[in-house]
Amino acid sequence: MKIEELDVIESVYELKIENRESLEKEILKKVKKGYDILFLCTIVNSWIAQNYKPNLKKIEVPLDIIKKL
């Protein structure tokens, strides 16, 4: 399942999440456990905002930020 909120994040920062498929799987696992998808995507967005650098075209988001919830 494609998570559209990640499309927005990629668009805003003009970059590609390299491990998007794995990240989506982890997010969906948490959604099935009752977590809100917007809450989880906000965590991803916050991590990217803190680690973003100008001219960055790709980024790998650590899955632990979702797994450890």
List, in sequence order, every residue forming a beta bridge with 17; answer none if it has no partner: 59
pTM of the model: 0.95
Quickly state the pLDDT bin for 1 (edges 50, 70, 90).
confident
Task: Give the Cβ contact number of residue 57 at 10 Å.
Answer: 9
pLDDT score recorded for residue 15: 97
Mean pLDDT (whole number) for 18-43: 98
Mean pLDDT (whole number) for 19-41: 98
Helix or strand holding residue 16 (H, E): strand 16-17
pLDDT score recorded for residue 59: 98
Across the chain, what does the average pLDDT equal?
97
